[in-house]
Structure 1
Amino acid sequence: MKINWWPWGVLTLVSLVLLSFFVLYPLAVLFGNSVVDDGGGYSLAAFATLARDSQYLQAFRNTLVLGFSVTACTVLVGVPFAYMVARYEFPLKNLVAVLPIMTIVIPEIIVGQSWLLILGNNGLLTNFFADLGIELPSFYGWTGMVFSMTLVYYTYIYLGVLAALRGFDGALEEAGLSLGTSPLVTKMRVLVPVMLPAVLVNALVVFTLVVGNFALSMLLGSRVPLLSVMTYNTFVSEMGGSPALQSAMSVVSIAIVAIVLFFQKRVVERKMYTMTQGRAPAPVRVRSGAALLFTVAVGLVILASMLPLLIVFVGAFTETSGPVMRWGSWSLGSLQRALQGAPEPIINSIKFSSIATLAGVSFALLVSYLTIKKRNTFTQALDYIVVLPLTISGTVLGIALVQTFNTGWLILAGSSGIMVLAYTVRRLPFAVRNASSTLFNIPDSIEEASISLGVSPFMTFFKVILPAMKASLISAAILMWVTTISELSASVVVYTGGLETMPIAIFRQVDGGRLGLASAYGAALVSVILLPIVVAIKVFRINLFSSK
């Protein structure tokens, strides 16, 4: 393929160099450190140590069990939910169809904190039932993790299956019924094979997210050993020492995700069905008792998944005395301590996320334009590298960045630069995919017409392409902002004193039992997340939560 070196070929090489240095190089350092001993020689001693460590093996098994358990629960919740929304009409359906998408913007640290406020040892419902003489089982451990992660991740299954159902040609079902097949058998033979790839693909996404989950695992895991938590604890305890063990743990975590992605590529994609867009079956209106049952069923799921947004604000205004929440007594004390006494986490979060969003969206705009509109020999490699952080958990990425930029000519560890770098690298794939969405629909002829009229390629980009991408760039910026400002797993690894952000502050306050102050920081975090979303919807008229 012929390369137009100026300017697009040069920009492609510059982008490749930047991504190689800040993505591939840290991963290479991480893998290299996992196979060296203290003397610098080649050794697999770290992996051998892990293989003999019963606690680590237990953490490995627990992580897989948690991944499969949560994935199964999200399928059990998401598939029926999507089927009801796609095939039936019931009261408040339009609202019900959109609300699950909004749960994506709720930070996991807020979810964990809120459920502790409700069902923790001093939780609202825990105390309520205790006064009635009923002792609820502990929310810590498997119960809390599976429950909270299911409510966080079922949306991925819901969205995937809903899209598959809305793209399904109802004539196929009608043909099966016309041949005398029962409705149940028809659905099993016709509908299920079409839905299955969407279920499997999104289930694998959920599984990888659970394996790499840090916030909920750390807050609710209690004494359940898990890979993400053990990797973090090993990193914290070994700072300044040999990085071999923490690197080996990180490599194993990456290997789990790589195996899952390989399974998706080799097995799931073979079951994909190509279908010409047809007429989806018209939703059936359900009445009386059935309508009530449908509304209650989906309403309970929605209520449980949206409850953290309400509880975090209730907790912020609740009077506290040390670790004790005085439910029903209201106070501004926690908010005053957070906003006036210790505002640094709020300021740091806004500062780091703003810089990361600006840098990430700018770079995402360049990369998406190069990979879609200016393809050459190197753009395919660029496209692969830019999505690589999706396969790496935040904890692993943070460890790789610290190990790489802790020494040498570019020392970022201990500075705000490594915080911004961790934010940008971790969330860049989301911005690239969002920025790319519009470019596919912009005909090349428009750009060529502008150039033929004497406008330079650069000016054509700014005068023609950029205005057409306005909506997708705003969406990419909001997505980048929401995901960076709520980032915990990578930032808790790379931060040092004075660089604490709101998610880190919440994590530390919850760990110390100060749920009131944690709620105050949580309320501030939710507020700065929702503000740009409201602006995008009301001012720019961008429908971020369309269910279509």
Structure 2
Amino acid sequence: MSRSSNLRSPWLWLSLASLVILATFIVYPLANILTASFAGEGQSGWMRLVSDPRGLTAIGNTLILASVVTVTCMLLGVPLAYVTARFRFPGKSIIALLPIITLVIPEVISAQTWLMVLGNNGVVTRFMRDFGIGLPSFYGWFGLIVVMTFIYYSYIYIGTVAAISGFDVHLEEAAQSLGTSPAKSRIKVMLPVILPSILASALLVFTMVVGNFAVSMILSNRLPLLSVATYQAAIAEGGASPVMQSTFASVSVLMVMTVLFFNRWIIARGRFEIAQGRGARPVPLAGIKGLAVGGAASLIVILSLLPLCVVVIGAFTVSRGPVMQWGNWTFANLERVFTTAPQPLINSLSYSALATIIGICFSAVVSYLIVKKRNAMTPWLDYISAVPLALSGTVLGIGLVVSFNGGWLPLTGTATIMVLALLVRRLPFGMRSSQATLHNIPNSIEEASISLGSPPVRTFLKVVLPMMAPAIASAAVLTWTTTVSELSASILVYSGGRETLTIQIFRLIGSNLMAYASAYGLVLIAVILLPIVIASKVFKVDVFSSK
């Protein structure tokens, strides 16, 4: 093909336009964060950080918290995955709720409802206090570890149960036929095969704890943590001289990128190919052993569902300021959401809908360019579109504020920056789903359409896009559920009157108005759950498909 025909290709110009967009809203904000950390009058942010004991303590505490939570998640997730994959027991079906629990319950609601149970004025705390038993404070290390463990252990469970289910049981049986005990054969044969999946899931949990904002802000109290220090620096500095907020954000990016590097290294070194194998048939567990295993597994899932149960009860509970009158019921809290102060709901629906529609459309086009229309720019499109995976919401929010606070593209204080924050944050969801589907669509189908006289763009719209529809629908639901529950990025870029449901809940928790927060939380969960139910039951979309 000649050079002139290449220049006339619509795909080349689409690649260029997409690259400019990604560079503007991902690379440019990230570069501004890194450069701002070295700027400022006097010492750079890095020099200030080295001489700031509280800042260094925040980094150390974050590493400790991430390590401890990762270990506790593994202690819960791996055994639960093993008994689920290998045994049948009473209550096993309830464990199937875990993936949907992970999506449906936002982190801000988890932190809020655990406080309603075990906080200073929590139900259990007050009940035990009546009997003269004082419970330890739920703020600080204890509350952070408990809440984050029950939020993130399901990620390790999901990754591990898939690895165990795909393991060829013939290998284990062969080891036992040579005289190896069942327990030793699992350690020597099965564990090395599934270990990369466990470690990859564990590293994912580690990065999520490092970037966690909602739980850290609500439960850390006076404990210094990196995400809290980053937010506090952003509030203190604003967009005028963003030195320390950029420095803390840069530290977060470096930490996450280091972990992601090790993640890729572990996956690359841990490749085991098993051809024509079969997984082990689950063994029935009856009697006391079955009840014990089923009871323990069900207890873990029930505790995971605790936030959902508490927020439903709290939404209909009478309150006078911060005092909740348990057992007295009212609709006044929900009336506030829909009539008195409905703007957060309207904002969440409109911003998330726009971010989802734009993100999914953009992801489909860019993924098509990367997979089917490769050129010199498509590798860069692939790399840059994955960058948000290494950015916490706080880092992204700071980058957008620093970059678009004024100058050539002033977006601060507008609805556009809210939508942009949600869009960029969840862009990899649509990219991953679209690319996986496009790899399974033969080029011959598209070539046949073009050979019959259909132009390339029309072929994409009429032939390729309909074949991508199931994956796009699944990605759209996942993008919606995560954008509507986003807090860490949106709280840094929002302005008065543009509060979303999560921001409103966060503010109400700060004012200790738990009943009102529960009402907004219940509506938020309904907004998240409804598309999942419709997609799964009505349109038969596999929301939890890995493709």
**What pairs with 1:320-339 in structure 2 (closer than 5 Å)?**
320-339=319-338
**CA offset digits 1:412-469 (Å, max 9, x no partner):** 0011111011000011011211223322221111111111222222222122212212
Q: Which residue of 2 aligns with 1:96?
A: 95
Q: Take 2:404 and 2:40, find their aligned partners in 1: how far apart are those partners? A: 20
- 1:37 aligned to which of 16, 36, 40: 40
Q: Aligned to 1:139, what secondary structure does the other structure show? A: coil
The yes-or-no answer on 1:131 pairing with 2:130 is yes
Q: Which residue of 1 aligns with 2:348?
A: 349
Structure 1 position 2, deviation (Å): 9.5
Q: Take 1:465 and 1:306, find their aligned partners in 2: how far apart are those partners? A: 40
Q: Take 2:399 and 2:164, find their aligned partners in 1: how far apart are those partners? A: 41
Greater mean deviation of Cα atoms: 165-174 or 118-127: 118-127
Structure 1 position 265, deviation (Å): 3.1
Greater mean deviation of Cα atoms: 394-403 or 454-463: 454-463
Q: Take 1:267 and 1:296, find their aligned partners in 2: how far apart are those partners? A: 34
Q: Take 2:267 and 2:527, find their aligned partners in 1: how far apart are those partners? A: 39
Greater mean deviation of Cα atoms: 310-319 or 260-269: 260-269
Structure 1 position 280, deviation (Å): 1.0
Q: Take 1:94 and 1:466, find their aligned partners in 2: how far apart are those partners? A: 36
- 1:10 aligned to which of 13, 30, 52: 13
Greater mean deviation of Cα atoms: 374-383 or 56-65: 374-383
Q: Which residue of 2 aligns with 1:515?
A: 514
Contact 1:98 1:545 in 2 (8 A): no
The yes-or-no answer on 1:24 pairing with 2:27 is yes
Structure 1 position 94, deviation (Å): 3.4
Q: Take 2:81 and 2:375, find their aligned partners in 1: how far apart are those partners? A: 40
Letter in 2 for 1:301: I
Q: Take 2:461 and 2:538, find their aligned partners in 1: how far apart are those partners? A: 23
Structure 1 position 319, deviation (Å): 0.4
Q: Take 1:98 and 1:529, find their aligned partners in 2: how far apart are those partners? A: 15
Q: Aligned to 2:39, what secondary structure does the other structure show? A: coil
Q: Which residue of 2 aligns with 1:224?
A: 223
Q: Which residue of 2 aligns with 1:461?
A: 460
Q: Take 2:450 and 2:299, find their aligned partners in 1: how far apart are those partners? A: 56
Q: Take 2:458 and 2:371, find their aligned partners in 1: how far apart are those partners? A: 18
**CA offset digits 1:249-287 (Å, max 9, x no partner):** 111111111211222233553233233251111111111
Contact 1:100 1:302 in 2 (8 A): no
**CA offset digits 1:204-226 (Å, max 9, x no partner):** 11100000000000111111110
Letter in 2 for 1:102: I
**CA offset digits 1:322-375 (Å, max 9, x no partner):** 001111111122222222111111111111111111110110111111111222
Q: Aligned to 2:328, what secondary structure does the other structure show? A: strand
Q: Which residue of 1 aligns with 2:163?
A: 164
Letter in 2 for 1:316: A
Give the TM-score normalised by structure 1.
0.96
Contact 1:103 1:306 in 2 (8 A): no
Q: Which residue of 1 aligns with 2:51?
A: 52
Greater mean deviation of Cα atoms: 76-85 or 448-457: 448-457
How well do the aligned residues superpose, as a CA RMSD in angstroms?
Answer: 1.8
**CA offset digits 1:23-62 (Å, max 9, x no partner):** 0011111111111123xxxx76211111111111111110
Q: Take 2:336 and 2:51, find their aligned partners in 1: how far apart are those partners? A: 47
Greater mean deviation of Cα atoms: 374-383 or 248-257: 374-383
Letter in 1 for 2:116: L
Q: Take 1:323 and 1:2, find their aligned partners in 2: how far apart are those partners? A: 72
Letter in 2 for 1:76: L
Structure 1 position 115, deviation (Å): 0.9
Q: Aligned to 2:318, what secondary structure does the other structure show? A: strand
Greater mean deviation of Cα atoms: 327-336 or 75-84: 327-336
- Which ranges in structure 1 are unaligned for 5 or more consecutive residues? none
Structure 1 position 545, deviation (Å): 4.4
**What pairs with 1:265-414 in structure 2 (closer than 5 Å)?**
265-414=264-413
Identity of aligned residues (%): 51
Contact 1:149 1:216 in 2 (8 A): yes
Give the TM-score normalised by structure 2.
0.96
Contact 1:98 1:546 in 2 (8 A): no
Contact 1:102 1:545 in 2 (8 A): no
Change (3 A) 1:547 1:386: closer
Greater mean deviation of Cα atoms: 127-136 or 177-186: 127-136
Contact 1:361 1:473 in 2 (8 A): yes
Letter in 1 for 2:152: Y
Q: Take 1:479 and 1:170, find their aligned partners in 2: how far apart are those partners? A: 33
Query: How many residues are treated as equivalent by the alignment?
Result: 544
Greater mean deviation of Cα atoms: 369-378 or 469-478: 369-378
Letter in 1 for 2:39: V
Q: Take 1:388 and 1:61, find their aligned partners in 2: how far apart are those partners? A: 25
Letter in 1 for 2:423: T
